[in-house]
C-alpha cells in the first residue's frame, strides 16, 4: 500500500478497519525520515524503538477489542519545546542539549491518552525565536519544496515534517506566527488556537502571554482532529480557559452558510509580493463563488503590531530565560579555566596598580552565570534577552513595556470592532514565499517584518489558520490566513475545509 499522499483522516480509516496497523504506519514514516530527513533536517531526534513500542501497544489494544483513542495509532511529531518525560528537551538550544524533562506536558498526556504515537522531536529556532529555522543551534531545517530555502520558523521542523510526509500530524507553537508562517511557506495547514484554548503546561515559555500550542497537518480536517485532542482546560495552567471543547473533527465538514469575510486594505499595500497578492486575491474569489460576502474592515493599529510585538515578546523572554543560568541544569561553563581566568584578570589589574578595577572583577558565581549564558545561547536569543532587559529596566519600563501593553489593547479592540461586521478576516500569511537560507540571516529587522501579518493575532489573543492557496512560479507554496474572534476555532476550521473542498492546493506534495 502506498501511504504517501495520505491524510490523517484517511489513515485513521485504514487503521480502524484493520487494513493497516500502527506499527506498519509508524515504520513507514520512520523509513521515510531515515531516507530523506538528512536533506531536510525536520527532526532533531527520532526514537524508533520507543515509537514502535507505542504503536505495538495501540495495535494490541485494538486487536483485543478495547476502545482506542481519537488518534488511534497515528504518529504525531512534536516540536522540541514541549516537555516529554524522560526525553531530551533542547528547545533547539545548546543551553539544554543534555536536559531531560522530568515530567510530561499537559498536551503530551492528552496525545498519549488519545493513542497517538509520539514519533520524534522536530527542529526549531532556538527557544522558538526566529522566522526561518536558521536559529536552531543544531542544524537548519530546509524547505521540502526547495532545500535551498528556509521552511519558516520557529516551527519549521513541524511544518517541514508534514510537507515532506514524515508524519501525518505535528505539534507546533505560535508566539508571533510560528505555526502559521512555516505552514504557509511549506504548503500545509497550521492553526494557532485562541490564547487559553490549549494548555501551555509543559511548553517551554518564550513569551508567556503570546505562546500557544497548535496543530499542523495536510488538511483542515486533520488539524481539527488534532486540535480536538489537545484543546481543553488544564488546572495547571491558570491562563487556560475552562470552556467546553467542540467536536471539531465532526463539525469541520459542515460548510458555513452566508460567510462574511473581511479584508484589510493595508494587508495588500507595499511590501507584499505580487504573486502572493494574486494568489490570496484568487483565494478570496473562491470564497465568493462558495457564497461568501467580502467587505473591507479596518485594523488601524495593525501598523504598530510588529513594534509592539518586538517589545512585549523580548521582555517576557528575558524573564523566562533567566532560569537558564547553569546552576540547576543545562549548560554550565567549566569552572577550572574560569577560576584561573578570574585570578589572572585580578592579578594583572593589581600589577598595573588598578586596585579599584581589580575589586570590580566578577566573582566566580557571576562569571559562571555570564560564561554559561554566553556559551549556551545563540545570537538571536541573546539579542532578544538584551532588548527585553533594556525595555524592562528602571526608567524605560513606562516608555516601552507599558506603552506596548496599551497598544496591544488597542489592537485587540480593533479586532473586536472588525468582528462586529465580519465572521473572519482573510489575507496573506507572509509577505513573500520562502526565501533562500542565509538571505536575511544578518538582517534581523528584515526578518522581523516577515511577521507583519501574523503577530496581531498573538497580541490580540485570537485564533488564526494558515492554508495553502497557491504556488509561485518558482514552485514555492503560498499561504492564506484566516483569523476569527476568540474561541471560534470551529469557524476557522470549517472555513478552511470549505476552501479545501473547492481547491487542491493542499494535496500538492514536493518531490522528494
Partner 1 sequence: MSVPYTTIIGLEVHVQLSTATKLFCGCGTRFGGAPNTQTCPVCIGMPGVLPVMNGRAFELALRTALALNCEIAPYTKWDRKQYFYPDLPKGYQISQYDLPFSFDGWLAISDPKERFPAKKVGIIRAHLEEDAGKSMHDEATGRADSRIDLNRCGTPLLEIVSQPDLRSALEAKAYLTELKLLLEYLEVSDCNMQEGSLRVDANVNLHIDAPGERLAKTPIVEIKNMNSFRAVERAIAYEADRQYDLWRERQIELGQPGGHKTTRGWDDTAGVTRPQREKEESADYRYFPDPDLTPVTVTREQIAAVRDQLPEPPPALRARFEAQFGLTPYDCEVLVSSGKPMVAYFLELAGLIGDGKTAVNWVTQDLARTLNERQVPLAEFPIRPPALAELIQRVQAGEFNTSKAREVFEAMLAQDLSVADAIAKLGITRVDESELVALCEKLLADNPRIVADVKAGKLQAAGGFVGQAKKLNPNVNPARVRELCLELIAKMGS
Q: Which is nearer to partner 1, 320 or 481 (CB)?
A: 320
The counts of H helices and E strands in the chain are 18, 11
Q: Which is nearer to partner 1, 179 or 188 (CB)?
A: 179
Among 68, 74, 76, 105, binds partner 1 (CB under 8 A): 105
Q: How far apart are CA 487 and CA 77, in angstroms?
A: 25
Among 18, 86, 102, 265, binds partner 1 (CB under 8 A): 102
Span 1-20, contacts to partner 1 by CB under 8 A: none
Bridge-based pairing state of the strands 212-217 and 169-174: antiparallel
Q: Does 397 bind partner 1 (CB under 8 A)?
A: yes
Q: Which is nearer to partner 1, 29 or 401 (CB)?
A: 401
Q: Does 401 bind partner 1 (CB under 8 A)?
A: yes
Kindly state the smallest distance separating residue 158's Cβ from partner 1, in Å: 17
**How are strands ordered across the β-sheet holding 189-192?**
43-46, 117-122, 75-79, 169-174, 212-217, 189-192, 463-471, 477-484, 424-428, 260-263, 293-296
Q: How far apart are CA 457 and CA 459, in angstroms?
A: 5
Among 118, 188, 207, 465, binds partner 1 (CB under 8 A): 207
Strand partners, 294: 261
Kindly state the smallest distance separating residue 203's Cβ from partner 1, in Å: 6
Q: Mark 302-321 with x for binding to partner 1 (rule: CB under 8 A) and - for no binding.
A: -------------xx-xx-x
Q: Which of 64, 48, 50, 60 is nearest to 22 (CA)?
A: 60
Q: Mark 230-249 with x for binding to partner 1 (rule: CB under 8 A) and - for no binding.
A: -----xxxxx----------
Q: Which own/partner pairs from 1-7 qualify as long-range (CB within 8 Å, at least 24 positions apart)?
A: 3/28, 4/32, 4/165, 4/509, 5/165, 5/507, 5/509, 6/168, 7/168, 7/217, 7/218, 7/219, 7/221, 7/222
Kindly state the smallest distance separating residue 82's Cβ from partner 1, in Å: 7
Part of the chain binding partner 1 (CB under 8 A), chosen from 144-152, 205-213, 293-301, 425-433: 205-213
Among 50, 112, 209, 251, binds partner 1 (CB under 8 A): 209
Whole-Å CA distances, 457 to 150, 210, 264, 409: 23, 9, 14, 12
Strand partners, 149: 436
Kindly state the smallest distance separating residue 482's Cβ from partner 1, in Å: 26
- Cβ-count burial of 278 within 10 angstroms (0-12 exposed, 13-18 middle, 19+ buried)? middle
Q: How far apart are CA 172 and CA 156, in angstroms?
A: 9
Specify whether the CB–CB gap between 55 and 5 falls below 8 A. no
Specify whether the CB–CB gap between 469 and 280 falls below 8 A. yes
Q: Does 338 bind partner 1 (CB under 8 A)?
A: no
Kindly state the smallest distance separating residue 229's Cβ from partner 1, in Å: 19
Q: Does 201 bind partner 1 (CB under 8 A)?
A: yes
Kindly state the smallest distance separating residue 136's Cβ from partner 1, in Å: 17
Kindly state the smallest distance separating residue 204's Cβ from partner 1, in Å: 4
Q: Does 87 bind partner 1 (CB under 8 A)?
A: no
Q: How far apart are CA 209 and CA 252, in angstroms?
A: 28
Q: Which is nearer to partner 1, 173 or 472 (CB)?
A: 173
User: For residue 501, what are the contacts with CB-CB under 8 A and spacing of at least 6?
Assistant: 255
Q: Does 171 bind partner 1 (CB under 8 A)?
A: no
User: For residue 473, what are the contacts with CB-CB under 8 A and spacing of at least 6?
Assistant: 275
Bridge-based pairing state of the strands 463-471 and 477-484: antiparallel
Whole-Å CA distances, 253 to 61, 69, 224, 356, 488: 29, 21, 10, 73, 15
Q: Which is nearer to partner 1, 287 or 369 (CB)?
A: 369
Among 290, 358, 392, 512, binds partner 1 (CB under 8 A): 392
Q: Which is nearer to partner 1, 103 or 139 (CB)?
A: 103
C-alpha cell at position 503: 481547491
User: CB count, 10 Å around CB of 295?
Assistant: 10
Q: Which of 250, 183, 197 is nearest to 221 (CA)?
A: 250
Q: Does 88 bind partner 1 (CB under 8 A)?
A: no
Part of the chain binding partner 1 (CB under 8 A), chosen from 53-61, 299-307, 325-333, 443-451: 325-333
Strand partners, 464: 192, 483
Residue 105 phi, psi (nearest 5): -70, 160
Kindly state the smallest distance separating residue 122's Cβ from partner 1, in Å: 16
Specify whether the CB–CB gap between 451 and 173 falls below 8 A. no
Among 393, 413, 501, 507, binds partner 1 (CB under 8 A): 393
Among 20, 46, 91, 252, binds partner 1 (CB under 8 A): 91
Specify whether the CB–CB gap between 120 and 43 falls below 8 A. yes
Q: Which is nearer to partner 1, 106 or 470 (CB)?
A: 106
Q: Which is nearer to partner 1, 24 or 362 (CB)?
A: 362
Kindly state the smallest distance separating residue 335's Cβ from partner 1, in Å: 11
Q: Does 462 bind partner 1 (CB under 8 A)?
A: no
Q: Which residues are catalytic?
A: 79, 154, 178
Q: Does 337 bind partner 1 (CB under 8 A)?
A: no
Kindly state the smallest distance separating residue 315's Cβ from partner 1, in Å: 6
Q: Does 126 bind partner 1 (CB under 8 A)?
A: no
Q: Does 374 bind partner 1 (CB under 8 A)?
A: no
Residues lying near partner 1 in the complex (CB under 8 A) are found at 82-83, 89, 91, 96, 99, 101-103, 105, 200-205, 207-209, 235-239, 315-316, 318-319, 321-323, 325, 327-329, 365-366, 369, 389, 392-394, 397, 401
Amino acid at each position: 500500500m502506498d501511504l504517501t499522499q495520505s491524510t490523517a483522516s484517511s489513515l485513521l480509516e485504514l487503521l480502524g478497519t484493520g487494513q493497516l496497523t500502527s506499527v506498519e504506519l509508524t515504520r513507514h514514516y520512520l523509513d521515510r525520515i531515515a531516507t530523506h530527513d538528512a536533506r531536510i533536517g525536520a527532526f532533531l531526534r527520532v526514537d524508533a524503538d520507543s515509537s514502535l513500542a507505542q504503536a505495538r501497544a495501540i495495535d494490541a489494544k485494538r486487536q483485543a477489542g478495547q476502545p482506542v483513542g481519537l488518534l488511534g495509532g497515528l504518529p504525531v511529531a512534536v516540536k522540541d519545546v514541549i516537555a516529554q518525560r524522560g526525553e531530551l528537551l533542547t528547545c533547539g538550544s545548546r543551553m539544554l542539549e543534555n536536559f531531560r524533562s522530568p515530567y510530561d506536558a499537559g498536551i503530551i498526556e492528552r496525545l498519549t491518552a488519545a493513542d497517538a504515537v509520539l514519533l520524534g522531536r522536530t527542529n526549531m529556532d532556538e527557544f522558538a525565536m526566529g522566522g526561518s529555522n536558521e536559529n536552531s543551534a543544531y542544524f537548519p531545517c530546509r524547505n521540502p519544496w526547495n532545500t535551498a530555502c528556509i521552511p519558516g520558523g520557529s516551527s519549521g521542523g513541524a511544518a517541514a515534517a508534514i510537507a515532506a510526509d514524515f508524519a501525518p500530524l505535528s505539534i507546533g507553537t505560535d508566539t508571533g506566527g510560528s505555526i502559521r508562517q512555516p505552514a504557509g511557506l511549506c504548503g500545509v495547514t497550521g492553526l494557532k488556537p485562541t490564547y487559553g484554548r490549549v494548555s501551555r503546561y509543559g511548553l517551554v515559555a518564550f513569551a508567556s502571554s503570546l505562546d500557544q500550542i497548535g496543530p499542523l497537518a495536510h488538511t483542515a480536517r486533520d488539524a481539527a482532529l488534532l486540535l480536538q485532542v489537545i484543546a481543553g482546560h488544564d488546572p495547571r495552567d491558570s491562563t487556560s480557559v475552562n470552556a467546553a471543547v467542540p467536536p471539531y473533527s465532526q463539525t469541520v465538514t459542515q460548510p458555513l452558510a452566508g460567510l462574511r469575510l473581511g479584508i484589510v486594505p493595508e494587508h495588500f499595500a507595499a511590501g507584499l509580493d505580487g504573486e502572493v497578492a494574486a494568489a490570496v486575491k484568487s483565494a478570496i474569489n473562491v470564497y465568493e463563488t462558495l457564497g461568501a460576502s467580502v467587505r473591507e474592515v479596518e485594523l488601524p493599529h495593525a501598523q504598530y503590531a510588529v513594534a509592539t510585538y518586538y517589545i512585549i515578546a523580548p521582555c517576557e523572554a528575558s524573564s523566562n530565560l533567566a532560569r537558564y543560568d547553569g546552576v540547576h541544569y543545562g549548560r554550565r561553563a567549566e569552572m577550572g579555566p574560569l577560576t584561573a581566568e578570574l585570578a589572572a584578570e585580578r592579578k594583572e589589574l593589581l600589577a598595573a596598580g588598578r586596585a579599584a578595577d581589580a575589586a570590580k572583577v566578577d566573582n566566580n558565581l557571576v562569571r559562571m552565570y555570564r560564561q554559561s549564558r554566553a556559551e549556551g545561547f545563540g545570537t538571536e536569543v541573546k539579542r532578544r534577552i538584551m532588548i527585553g532587559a533594556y525595555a524592562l529596566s528602571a526608567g524605560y519600563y513606562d516608555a516601552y513595556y507599558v506603552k506596548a501593553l496599551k497598544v496591544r489593547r488597542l489592537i485587540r479592540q480593533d479586532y473586536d470592532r472588525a468582528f462586529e461586521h465580519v465572521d473572519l478576516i482573510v489575507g496573506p500569511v507572509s509577505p513573500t514565499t520562502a526565501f533562500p537560507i542565509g538571505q536575511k540571516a544578518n538582517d534581523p529587522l528584515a526578518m522581523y517584518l516577515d511577521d507583519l501579518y501574523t503577530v496581531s493575532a498573538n497580541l490580540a489573543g485570537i485564533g488564526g489558520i494558515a492554508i495553502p492557496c497557491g504556488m509561485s512560479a518558482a514552485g514555492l507554496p503560498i499561504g492564506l490566513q484566516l483569523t476569527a474572534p476568540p474561541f471560534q476555532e470551529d469557524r476557522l476550521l470549517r472555513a478552511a475545509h470549505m476552501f479545501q473542498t473547492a481547491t487542491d492546493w493542499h494535496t500538492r506534495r514536493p518531490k522528494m
